[in-house]
Amino acid sequence: MTAREEIVNEDAERAVMRLDASPLRGARVLLAGANGLLGSSFAHFFNHLNRSQGFGISCDCVTKNELSPESRIYDLREASGFRIIQANLATDTPYDGAYDFVIYAAGYSAPLRFLRDPLEVVEVNYDGMKRLLRHVREKSQRAKVLYFSSSEIYGSPPPESIPTPETYPGNSPVTNPRACYVESKRLTEVMCLIYRSQGIDVKIVRPALTYGPGLGLQDERVLSQFVRKAHLDKKIDMLDDGRDLRAYCYGEDMLVELLLILLKGKEVIYNAGSDREEVSIKDLALTIGSIMGVPVNVGAPRQGAVGAPGRVLLDISKVRNEFGFAPKVTLEEGLRRTIQWATSNSENQNNE
């Protein structure tokens, strides 16, 4: 077992200890976007249940790209109960028959992709989920469906709406360069609600700022950029003064949160993230620099990424109150595990 596989398996084992997974025993699962950061955490969790407790889960893992040795779920190609399906969900319908659980984690989350391929971003978010919901209505009406929306639909909330609750309507204009992502997520939420009114058990989650094993050095998000610079350049040069604030959620915590919503959720729309620690981008860089033993050069004040909110902190009281959930992994512990995974697999690519 490789170093990165050990970390992933440890996270899955720790997640198993934090919830009742019995509804998954013998289940047939469709996992769309299985090679993404969140999708792969589900895949490894299901595999751990099969290997350690004989759950007998059958999982169809749909991924757009052909798997390579650096893919997040490459090690599951021959895992018992798993079927890897390569397909473009915006145009293909690669699934068949009835499923007990359907998880739609497909889509692009890298900001540069929003600017480079806006139409493709829209098609994967909306057209892919539309095809899937039609299949569920025709072939799998008893399935529990989980759609991954995004906290980005909130835009940049005013101070009085932070922490941001699910009821906040959002304030992101359609002229925002990230609108292809934000508005296609919002439209797909509306579609999910329509199907729910027709009897389909679909729930919507709005995850925020997940990190952890699977977040490779090629990822375009700021946390990965800092780790890449520290690993390759032996220093972190920031582009600005890093004043924006973020509340990051480690993958294990996010996985537990999402599983609780999928298996037991009684509401329709949920925030998913962490309110344990809020950190500035500057302090994030300094923490990564300290862990990796490299200097950090803070840049001059300037406007951040185009369309990016100045502060992201979700109100997760709904999942706290309904499930008794609380994030457990500290930022420093999560960063250490993320860095260990990323630097032991420094050529990680092809994870869409």
What are the sequence ranges of the domains in the chain? 3-214+251-274+315-328
Higher pLDDT, residue 1 or 221: 221
List of residues 6+ apart from 308 with CB closer than 8 A:
111, 178, 244
pLDDT classification of 339: cutoffs 50, 70, 90: very high
Q: What is the pLDDT of residues 240-299, one digit of tens each?
A: 999 999 999 999 999 999 999 999 999 999 999 999 999 999 999 999 999 999 999 999
CA distance 221 to 179: 18
Q: For strand 279-280 and strand 245-246, is the pairing parallel, antiparallel, or unpaired?
A: antiparallel
pLDDT over 90 percentage in the chain: 84
Q: What is the pLDDT of residues 4-25, one digit of tens each?
A: 889 999 999 999 999 999 999 9
| pLDDT, average across residues 36-53 | 97
CATH level 2 (architecture), domain 3-214+251-274+315-328? 3-Layer(aba) Sandwich (3.40)
In the chain, where do the E strands start and end?
Answer: 28-32, 58-63, 82-86, 101-104, 144-148, 201-207, 210-211, 236-237, 245-246, 249-250, 269-272, 279-280, 296-297, 311-312
